[in-house]
Each structure stands twice: as structure tokens, then as C-alpha cells.
Amino acid sequence: MLVLGTGTSHGVPMIGCECGTCTSADTRDRRSRASILIENAEDQSVLIDTTPDLRSQALAHKVRRVDAIAYTHSHADHVMGLDDVRRFNVLQKSAIPCYGDERTLDDLRRIYSYIFDRDTPRGGGIPQVVLARVMGEFCVGSLTFIPVPLLHGSRVILGYRVGSFAYLTDCSEIPDASWPLLKGVRTLILDALRERPHPTHLSLDQALAIVDQLAPERAYFTHMCHDLPHAATCARLPAGVELAYDGLAFEIAL
């Protein structure tokens, strides 16, 4: 499992900001937009979200294959890298399935209408993707994805569970019906935007309360703004809990 990005929609550093985190020499304070890549033993890779930083993330971490894409939701910081998928089409010589809920897929058809318009000239290269509505769990090779409905403010979006691992970004609340889907999770990546409350994201304290309730063996926070400097924040977190960072890699039990 590879963490490609851990930042908010602005990313860190933020444009025009001179705060300690944005000017930090610690590479863990450089946060591209939130995304992860899950790989299995057969070298199949599933990308969660196509951020505006997809190209630079793929180059930085030598990502050469994407067998499927699973979307959490259709906000700009999670979908605006879809056009870069066409390079993977060339490398793999195949279309790529994209999984998401109905609203997300509808938004992709609208935002990227040229991809789905049969009359669009193809000379410049257009991503070859096949949209698939998430109705329940789905498989990509040996990887089984269980969608976990989350609240992102008033909007229902999707987190994903794969084996004993769960990825829950951009959430402000876990609905009651979703808690059983997370039972037994051993490794968790969870939204934790900042110290102060926010209407559509978990604060650090709210994220810690969820970690206490789920009791995973290890937990990482993501989608963090510049209010949370990496080293100083990690130093005061409980054992087994830390901020994720771009390029973090670890194995998960499938």
C-alpha cells in the first residue's frame, strides 16, 4: 500500500503562505492532494481517486500501472487528474474501469464530457475508461473492495475497506450503519483536517475519538492542512497513531 498524497484541496505548502509548515524543510510537510495506491502480490494496482497531482505523484513514486480506479467522491481535488490516466492506457494497452457512486459517475460524465462523447476527435489522446457504479463489494483481481458510506458534511461519499485495511478520507462523520463494516480493521487511514472543528471534515480530536472506538493496531491521518506540522503533531499523538505522509508505504493484510 502506497500513500500518494495526504493534503487538503489546497495542498501543502499553500500558495502564498509563509507559515512554519508551508516553509518547512521536512519533506513530510509537503502534501499533495489525498490519494493512495493499493497493490496485490500479482502486481495489480488500484488507485483511489485521481487528484490534480496524479502525474507528479506517479513520477515521484514510479507508478507504471493502474488496473482500476475507485473514487471516494467527485470534488475537484479527487477527480481532476483523470485526464492523466491516458498514459496508463498507452502503457497497458487497455481501458481502465472506474468505480464510484451514482453521483460521482454522473459528475465525471459532466466534467469530462469529451471522454464520453463519441464525436470527440481522438487524435490528441483521450482517456479510455469504463464507468462502473458501486452497488456493493467489488473485486479487482485478488483485491476485494467493500464500500463504506461516510458523511462529508451533508453529502454521502465512499470510503473503502480492503481486507483488514480501511481508507476513510474526507469525512466528518461515520454513519451508524457503517460501523459494522469497519469491525476488525487493523490498519486505518482516516481524515484529520486540523485542530479546529470543520463542517465537512474531522478535526484531530474527532479523528482520535474514532480511532479509540475502532481500536486498530495502527492508524494514520490524512487530508491535513498546514495547521498540523508533521513532527510536532506526531510527537503528541498516542502510540500507534501518526500523520501519514506522501510516499509512506506499508503492507496490509488482505
What are the pLDDT digits (tens) for 76-89? Answer: 999 999 999 999 99
Contact between 225 and 195 under an 8 Å Cβ cutoff? The reply is no
Residue with cell 509512506: 248
Region 184-194: what's the mean pLDDT? Answer: 98
112 pLDDT higher than 80: yes
CATH number of the domain where residue 52 is located: 3.60.15.10
Q: Count the Cβ atoms, other than its own, within 10 Å of residue 180.
A: 8
CA angle 161, 115, 120 (to 5 degrees): 175
**Does residue 120 have a pLDDT over 90?**
no
pLDDT over 80 (residue 198): yes
User: Is the Cβ–Cβ distance between 189 and 220 less than 8 Å?
Assistant: yes
Q: Does the pLDDT value for residue 244 go beyond 90?
A: yes
Mean pLDDT for 4-32 is 98
Determine contact, residues 164/184, Cβ cutoff 8 Å. Answer: yes
Strand extents, DSSP E, 73-174: 96-100, 129-133, 138-140, 143-152, 155-162, 165-168
Read off the C-alpha cell for 114.
469529451
**Is 210 within the bounds of a domain?**
yes
- pLDDT at position 41 is 86
Residue 122 has pLDDT above 80, yes or no: no
Our count of domains for the chain comes to 1
- Residue 50: inside a domain: yes
* Mean pLDDT within 24-34: 98
* Collapsed DSSP state (helix, strand, coil) of residue 246: coil
| pLDDT band, residue 124 (cuts 50/70/90) | low
Range of the domain at 180: 2-243
Tell me if 10 is assigned to some domain: yes
Give the predicted TM-score (pTM) of the model: 0.97
Confidence class of residue 163 from pLDDT cuts 50, 70 and 90?
Answer: very high
Q: Is residue 251, in this structure, part of any structural domain at all? A: no
Residue 177, number of CB atoms within 10 A of its CB: 9
| Whole-number average pLDDT of the chain | 96
Least confident stretch, 14-23, 29-38, 120-129: 120-129
Mean pLDDT calculated for residue range 106-111: 98
| Closest among 149, 121, 151 to 137, alpha carbons compared | 149
Region 199-220: what's the mean pLDDT?
Answer: 98
Q: Which residue has the higher pLDDT, 254 or 92?
A: 92
What's the N-to-C CA distance of the chain in angstroms? 11
> Is 253 a domain residue?
no
- Grid cell in block for residue 188: 486505518
Mean pLDDT over 106-133 rounds to 89
Is residue 252 situated within a structural domain? no
Percentages (nearest 5) of helix, strand, coil residues in the chain: 25, 30, 45
Q: How far apart are CA 209 and CA 213, in angstroms?
A: 6
Residue 254 lies in a domain: no
Is the confidence at residue 254, as pLDDT, over 90?
A: no
Whether the per-residue pLDDT at 227 is higher than 70: the answer is yes
Mean pLDDT value across residues 113-133? 87
The pLDDT > 70 percentage for the chain reads: 99
Q: Report whether pLDDT(187) > 70.
A: yes
254 contacts: CB under 8 Å, gap ≥ 6: 40, 142, 143, 162, 163, 164
Tell me the backbone φ, ψ of residue 103, rounded to 5 degrees.
-65, -45
Closest CA to 9 of 146, 159, 152: 152
Per-residue confidence (pLDDT) for residue 253, from 0 to 100: 82
C-alpha triplet 52, 55, 60: angle, nearest 5°: 120
Predicted confidence at residue 123, as pLDDT, reads 64
Q: How many CB atoms lie within 10 A of CB 1?
A: 16
